Structure 1
Amino acid sequence: MKGQEWYQTAEVAEEYEEKRFSGGGRLIDRREKRAVLEAIGPVDGKDVLEIACGTGRFTVMLAERGADIVGLDISAEMLQQGRKKAHAAGVADHLEFMRGDAARLPFPDDHFDAVMAMRFFHLADTPASFLAEMQRVSKDQVFFDTFNRFSTRSIYNWALPMGSRLYSRGEVESLLDSAGLGLAQEDHDFVLPYGFYRQIPGSVARTFRSADTSILGVRGLERLASVSYWNATVE
């Protein structure tokens, strides 16, 4: 797994959200949370697993909406940040954070209503094995995102500390098929890569975001998106 040691440092965990989701990064945070909520739907009473939950951005959000959720991550430092967030939100008794390996999920088959992973598959060395595990423990739904190969993401990918795995649509379809998953819904966004938005103030980012959204609103131009959200069903 790319960046496994990097994500486990206390310094990275403590600064993770401030560096990525302040300024123009707030637009990314809002969009990702909307994507999750639209995909998972009403969550009250649902059993949900989030793998690679990191600092608990989505874990806590879903717990606040009534989900019975487990957040799993390999980094104890990230999980500690998530626990702090859960306590601050008053939902610490509504969720569970666990340290574990996404390649060997410690749950029986068909254990959760939905299994999700955000900001994960770009780090995966063996995405097929991870997706198969997600499918195994889910009764109904698997949701995840990918960074796209033929997009602006590829332009600066070399400059990232551990790089990223980029996916074509064909690769994602093949992974879904191999894992016994059927594609139920897809969404594509952000012509400009995340790294660009994180480097500019929020007021400036909104202008670029408006242009970005307009481009992707033209039929056929969704192929320019740097990020895709995949909502799949267990077959």
Structure 2
Amino acid sequence: MKGKEWYQQETVVESYEDKRFSRGGGRLTDQLEKEAVGEALAPVGDKKILEIACGTGRFSVMLAQQGADVVGLDISAPMLGEGRAKAREAGVDDHLEFMRGDAARLPFPDDHFDAVFAIRFFHLADTPEEYLREMARVSKRQVVFETYNRSSGRSLYNWALPMGSRLYSRREVDGMLDAAKLRLVDETHEFVVPFGLYRKLPGGVAKAFRRVEEAVDRTPLGDRLASISYWNATVE
């Protein structure tokens, strides 16, 4: 798994959300990602949900606030510590449990959750098929995950990133779904402008870029140029 050591550094965790989601374009991408997760999993009330690679718990806390019982799993103890503090502050720690663990060997029995999801995870995966099979194994119904797209503009600069990212073709995603015995029920393709760029933009400029993106989304090129895809599947 790429970034395994990096995400466990205390200094990285301390500034993780502040650098990525607290201002300008980062705040906008945080909002848009939360909307995508919420729409994919809705309705979440009384559902038992597992988040893989939950990080500091920004999605897990949101879902617990909406009435779900959530388990957030991550490899990074410092990230989980931030998540627990956030859950206590939001008053949802009685509906949210954080666990340290390996996504390739989930410590849960078959069909344990109503839904399992992973966001900003599969671009770091060294054995994505293995992870997706585990997610499907512990879910009764639904699996939601996200991939970075090989045909997008991200492929032009991916090599220059410190850890790089795994980029996926549609054929690879279909193969992973088949191997995990999952049936795709919905897909959403977003961010013609990669959100790494969004984070560097002032809020007003980011919103202007977003309006352009929405116009492109309404054309036949929208899905093809999107840098991120959200896949919503059901267990067969």
Q: What is the TM-score with the length of structure 1 in the denominator?
A: 0.98
Contact 2:60 2:70 in 1 (8 A): yes
CA apart distance, 1:160: 1.7
3-state SS, counterpart of residue 93 of structure 1: coil
State the AA in 2 paired with 1:135: A
Distance 1:191 1:73 in 2: 29
CA apart distance, 1:221: 2.9
State the AA in 2 paired with 1:72: L
The corresponding residue for 2:20 is: 20
Distance 2:160 2:57 in 1: 26
3-state SS, counterpart of residue 151 of structure 2: coil
Distance 1:134 1:69 in 2: 15
The corresponding residue for 1:47 is: 48
Deviations 1:29-49 (A, max 9, x none): 111111111111111110000
CA RMSD of aligned residues (A): 0.8
Distance 2:226 2:59 in 1: 22
The corresponding residue for 1:99 is: 100
CA apart distance, 1:159: 2.2
State the AA in 1 paired with 2:14: E
Contiguous gaps of at least 5 residues in structure 1: none
State the AA in 2 paired with 1:18: D
State the AA in 2 paired with 1:114: A
Distance 1:209 1:127 in 2: 30
3-state SS, counterpart of residue 218 of structure 1: coil
Whether 1:124 aligns to 2:89 is no
- What are the residue-to-residue correspondences of 1:7-156 with 2, within 5 Å? 7-21=7-21, 22-156=23-157
Count of matched residue positions in the alignment of Structure 1 and Structure 2? 235
Identity %: 67
CA apart distance, 1:220: 4.1
Regions of 4+ moved over 3 Å: none
Whether 1:204 aligns to 2:215 is no
Deviations 1:68-110 (A, max 9, x none): 1100000001001101111111111111000000000000000
Q: What is the TM-score with the length of structure 2 in the denominator?
A: 0.98
Contiguous gaps of at least 5 residues in structure 2: none
3-state SS, counterpart of residue 66 of structure 1: coil
The corresponding residue for 2:5 is: 5
CA apart distance, 1:219: 2.6
